[in-house]
A and B are shown apart, each in its own frame.
Chain A
């Protein structure tokens, strides 16, 4: 029996988020801050995803990322780190362009949405009931994100009590990144099959 691989990236991101939460100086240096980004601190576009504004904000995001990252990394998907990096930087960049009123942003949920979408897209290619489960989850995610974008906030209770407003665009960008990466992977695989003798 082969041992399951250690979910290195998942553990690293979650640990980083926890460390940042415990160090206010780090939070100040890493949070997505529109003015600081405009002044040249471009790393905040990515690192802002690691900053959380409250204990429950951190716990919800980290628990979700642990669950989904564990599934992806133990399922031997190769591109999890690339997915996290790409979605993290795209979320920051798109928010910078599309949400000029937003001064400060933090949270991992955009990356969690990207990871969940990526896992479900790969799950659809598998056999059996798991395939249908992934399809169902993917549809739920699409409906939820669509609802959030259309309304401008999350209609679900509990997301407005954290002293900050939910930014639905981050979830949409995360999902779009996952779809793009999945499409690129499939394109490469198809090309590989065509080229092979």
Chain B
């Protein structure tokens, strides 16, 4: 009887505490093309007025769908600001407006984007979606959970967190996708049984951070490729320049410091002569 009780207890500990695979995602296709009975939207020829006014937003999750541990509203805003800060330095970008999720409806489609265009005065929108899957397995060390204390101190849980952030850039008036760039991350970690959920949250956040950095890098490359494409195929993308598109040569702090060092060095050298 005692043996059976032990086996039941073991099954309870090892089976009951195992965390199932957690998958959270949002989809640009679900957001932009919510009704499959709708006719396919035929994109027109985009007219890009430089410098561009760009909006950036996370694609809203479906109603009732599980959301990522890491991508709270605050974290979403941080990710969007990070991307926006990186791109607003380009001369062909006039403004980047970070649009809160509350302004986008699940399955809102292009009608929702038209509303955003009116509200924020943006012509181009970058839609960020995510896909995160967390796997949890129990390693050999989990045998130590038998001792109860082991559940607190032995890292017997093995976690894998796969994250993908994906940015798709659309010209709203023409409904044309301009370019896209993904950001990927894979994090392997371990945890004790007791702090498993905390560790999963930490891994989830780290996954989002790494995927964001990777996505920014890829966005840079895709943006460069898109600029070349625009130059090569003027019949597909019309570009007009507005008055505000200006660039400048400005001395920065590093340059001033270097010149200060040169001035000091030259003064010192001349005095020695």
Contact = CB atoms under 8 A, between A and B. Distances in A.
B146 interface: no
Contact of B260 (A67, A105, A144, A151): A67
Nearest to A119: B262
A52 B268 CA distance: 33
Given A165-B247, A170-B249, A152 B265 contact: no
Given A64-B251, A140-B254, A53 B266 contact: no
Interface stretch (B86-94, B115-123, B150-158): B86-94
B89 A160 contact: yes
Contact of A104 (B224, B239, B246): B246
B153 to A, nearest CB: 44
Contacts of B250: 57, 60-61, 107, 109, 159, 162, 166
A23 to B, nearest CB: 18
Contact of A144 (B224, B255, B266): B255
Given A67-B260, A126-B269, A133-B265, A102 B89 contact: no
Interface of A: 34, 49, 52-53, 57, 60-61, 63-64, 67-68, 70-71, 75, 91, 99-110, 112-113, 116, 119-120, 123, 126, 128-130, 133-134, 137, 140-141, 144, 151-154, 156-160, 162, 164-167, 170-171
B226 interface: no
A104 B269 CA distance: 41
A5 to B, nearest CB: 13
The 9 closest A-B pairs by CB, nearest first: A165-B91, A107-B249, A104-B246, A109-B249, A153-B89, A167-B247, A130-B269, A170-B249, A107-B248
Contacts, number: 155
A152 to B, nearest CB: 6
Interface in B214-273: 220, 224, 231, 239, 241-243, 245-256, 258-263, 265-266, 268-269, 272
B248 A101 contact: no
Contacts of B265: 129-130, 133-134
Contact of B249 (A110, A151, A152, A160): A110
A173 B14 CA distance: 67
13 contacts: A61-B251, A67-B260, A101-B239, A103-B242, A103-B243, A109-B251, A129-B265, A130-B265, A130-B266, A133-B265, A134-B265, A151-B220, A166-B91
A108 to B, nearest CB: 7
Contact of A60 (B50, B251, B260): B251
Nearest to B255: A64
Given A103-B241, A156-B254, A159-B252, A67 B247 contact: no
A58 to B, nearest CB: 10
Interface in B31-69: 50-51
How many interface residues does chain B have, given as a range?
35 or more
Given A64-B256, A109-B255, A104 B261 contact: no
A36 B246 CA distance: 14
Contacts of B251: 60-61, 63-64, 108-109, 112
Given A112-B255, A116-B255, A129-B269, A166 B247 contact: yes
B223 to A, nearest CB: 8
Contacts of A144: 254-255
Contacts of A165: 51, 89-93, 246-248
Contact of B259 (A53, A67, A126, A153): A67
A182 to B, nearest CB: 16
Contacts of A126: 269
Given A103-B243, A156-B254, A137 B261 contact: yes
A102 B261 contact: no
Contacts of B243: 103-104
A47 to B, nearest CB: 14
B247 A99 contact: yes
A162 B248 contact: yes
A138 B223 CA distance: 31
